[in-house]
Amino acid sequence: MGVAVESRDQALVESPIVFDVAGLNVHYGDFHAVKDVGIQIRRNEITALIGPSGCGKSTVLRCFNRMNDLIETARVSGSIRYHDVDLYGSDVDPVQVRRHIGMVFQKPNPFPKSIYDNVAFGPKIAGFDGDLDELVEQALTQAALWDEVKDKLNDSAYALSGGQQQRLCIARAIATSPDVVLMDEPASALDPIATLRIEDLMQGLKENYSIVIVTHNMQQAARVSDRTAFFTVDMEETGQRTGVLVEFDETSTIFTNPGEKRTEDYITGRFG
Amino acid sequence: MRRLFLGMAIVSIAVSIAIVASLLGNAVGFFVDVDKGSLLDVGWFPRRNRFDLLTPIAGTLVMSLVAMLVATPLGLGAAIYLAEYAKPRVRRLLKPVLEILAGIPSVVLGFFALLWIGPNVVVELLNSPKPATILTASIGVGILVTPLVASVSEDALRAVPQALREASYGLGAKKSTTVRSVVLPAAVSGIMASLILGLSRAIGETMVTFMAAGAVGGALRTWNPLDSGTTLTAAIASVATGSDQVAGEALAFEGVFALGITLFFITLVLNWMSDRFVRRVRQKY
């Protein structure tokens, strides 16, 4: 981990803020999943959300594209500004939000369609009227999958390996030219080699996109991210568990010189 | 234990073979005895030695296809609503109701078709001169088959992994797009299975047609659902009611087996076709 972190030791250039989150609370029914989270996501950076199970990192991620709207009992309060738009404003259509903010899920979830149709799905439903073939090739190339699939675009996506399927899902997400790509533990179902490929891919993707990644794997956060947010589980006065943000800083700081004891305990493996 | 189960398997296979053998044997007997000219006639009147097989075949095809025209949109619509749109509380309430509907005895629906659908729908809405028509039976059978179609296709829709819906929403698809472009194609083999099941049930359905399609003892050949008519099953039932009469008319009795074997082959071909179709269009997930 040392080498990767040192190479980025100099302070990051402050690029423009894409998401500005303040006082974010999420409830699922009576369950207070996330409490008072404040965090900024910056353009062309990779921001990692780490922490133990149940700390609410995936919940926070799913606020960024309003995926939580799909859960009937979910309630979101506080403010998330996407550029200068209030993401949860009454005039914001979650469907439009998701066309700007792509998502890659924990388990590869290609559609039971051909490789081509998987990538073309997003552009098609958004009414894309340019050269679809070219767009599909571009997206697959960016996802480092083109060379492996260019001769079998009409084969089922299910014929691909797990790692290939996940890269296909990344290609599918970027085919709609999103502004941000959210990744929810994108490599947790993959073997180490496939994981490395995804990590390499992310480094290339951040040239064009802003990336937020949730990961269980601290080494992964240290290897790929520019900034890291560490979440943990707190007991509320009522005895209920709730997720809180402990510390948010440049990744090199979090991993070498964390400001909070709880962060240090977690990254050195004393907890979690 | 192993022998017991083997014995059971053998018995059930043996019974099936015996049924087909007796069907075939009697049907062959019928085709040998019958005056060949009476196999193509104006209609099916077994007690007058008019055995136009095309009459009950046409009746079956028309009745079951029209029934599926009723049951497919109703059943699929109900399934899509229950699986994709209904709130969990509504669904918990409606699903058992649907399953109760599936258990309504067909004789009850036959009665309902004859006394309510006939006069109120067929005569009033469609201006038919008579209430008891093939269409009357078709609507009744369609209602009878709807819960089956709805229940089986709802299971198929719910079996589509949530991850696929999330993938679709994550790409900025609306609910309706997700249902149409992701969930329905992924569930198509189950939905086809539900329609084939429904069609088989409609073809085999006897009581509703027997009571509501307006044929007494026999029927003229017709392809028009607004005429009275009979189907393979209803024709068998009407010959078989009053067994002493049948015993006196050997040829009419054997004719029943000719109908039976025809029914058997129609179902067989249908199963084979549906199997091939499902194999071809299935999207595996």
Domains of chain B: residue spans and CATH: 34-281 (1.10.3720.10)
- The shortest C-alpha distance from A109 to chain B (Å) reads 6
Specify the number of domains making up chain A. 1
pLDDT, tens digit, 9 for 90 and up, residues B72-118:
999 999 999 999 999 989 999 999 998 888 889 999 999 999 999 99
The DSSP secondary structure of A38-95, one letter per residue, reads: EEEEETT-EEEEE-STTSSHHHHHHHHTTGGGGSTTEEEEEEEEETTEETT-TT--HH
* pLDDT tens digits, A51-64: 998 899 999 999 99
Q: Is there a domain that residue A272 lies in?
A: no
d(CA B196, nearest CA chain A) in Å: 23
- Quote the CA–CA distance of B206 and B110 in Å, as a whole number: 9
Tell me what pLDDT residue A240 has.
85
Cβ neighbours of B284 in A, within 8 Å: 112, 156, 158
Instruction: Point out the residue among A72, A126, A156 whose CB comes nearest to the CB of B172.
Output: A126
pLDDT under 50: residue ranges of chain A: 1-9
Contacts of A109 in chain B (CB under 8 A): 161, 163-164, 166-167
Q: Which domain holds residue A148?
A: 2-267
For residue A109, is it within any domain? yes
Q: Which two tokens stand for residue B141?
A: 């059978």
Task: Measure in Å the smallest separation between the Cα of A197 and chain B Cα atoms.
Answer: 22
DSSP 8-state assignment for residue B48: G
Q: Check A111 against B174: CB less than 8 A apart.
A: no
Residue A129, in any domain of the structure: yes
Q: What is the distance in angstroms between the Cα of B188 and the nearest Cα belonging to chain A?
A: 11
Rg (CA), chain A: 19
pLDDT at B34: 86
Name every residue in A having a CB less than 8 A away from some CB of B. 65, 67, 70, 72, 95-100, 102-103, 105, 107, 109-113, 121-122, 125-126, 156, 158, 169, 172-173, 176
Residue A178 lies in a domain: yes
Examine residue A30 and state whether it is found in any structural domain, yes or no.
Answer: yes
Residue A7 in any domain: the answer is yes
| Separation of alpha carbons B263 and B145, rounded Å | 18
Q: What integer pLDDT is reported at residue B272 of this predicted model?
A: 86
Closest by Cβ to A109, choosing from B167, B172, B181:
B167
Which residue in the set A95, A96, A112 is minimally distant from B285, CB to CB? A112
**Å between A159 CA and nearest CA of chain B:** 11
Task: Identify the helix (H) or strand (E) that includes residue A248.
Answer: strand A241-250
- What pLDDT was estimated at residue A7? 43
Residue A18 lies in a domain: yes
Q: At what angle do helices A162-174 and B162-170 cross, to 10 degrees?
A: 30
A112/B177 touch (CB, cutoff 8 Å), yes or no: no
CB-nearest to B170 from A103, A107, A112 is A103
Q: What is the 3-state secondary structure (H, E, C) of chain B?
A: CHHHHHHHHHHHHHHHHHHHHHHHHHHHHHHHHCCHHHHCCCEEEHHHCEECCHHHHHHHHHHHHHHHHHHHHHHHHHHHHHHHHCCHHHHHHHHHHHHHHHCCCHHHHHHHHHHHHHHHHHHHHCCCCCCCCHHHHHHHHHHHHHHHHHHHHHHHHHCCCHHHHHHHHHCCCCHHHHHHHHHHHHCHHHHHHHHHHHHHHHHHCCHHHHHHCECECEEECCCCCCCCECCHHHHHHHHHCCHHHHHHCHHHHHHHHHHHHHHHHHHHHHHHHHHHHHHHHCCCC
- The minimum CA-CA distance between B281 and chain A, rounded to whole Å, is 11
Question: Which positions in chain B have a beta carbon within 8 angstroms of at least one beta carbon in chain A?
Answer: 87, 161, 163-164, 166-174, 177, 181-182, 185-186, 283-285
Angle between helices B232-240 and B250-281 (to 10 degrees): 150
Chain A: residue whose CA lies nearest to B87: A72
Residue B59 pLDDT > 50, yes or no? yes
Q: How far apart are CA B265 and CA A42, in angstroms?
A: 69
Binning pLDDT at 50, 70 and 90, where does residue B146 land? Answer: very high
Is the Cβ pair A125, B164 closer than 8 Å?
A: no
Query: Is A256 part of any domain?
Result: yes
pLDDT digits (tens, 9 = 90+) for B242-284: 555 555 567 888 888 999 999 999 988 888 887 887 777 666 6
DSSP H/E element including A253? helix A251-256
Determine the residue of chain B that is closest to A65 in CA distance.
B170
Q: Indicate which CATH number applies to the domain containing A202.
A: 3.40.50.300
Entry field: residues in chain B: 285
Which chain A residue has the Cα nearest residue B86? A72
**Interchain CB distance below 8 Å, B169 and A70:** yes
The reported pLDDT for the residue numbered A76 is 93
The predicted pLDDT at position B189 comes to 86
Contacts of A110 in chain B (CB under 8 A): 167
Q: According to the model, what pLDDT value does residue B281 have?
A: 65
pLDDT at position B35 is 85
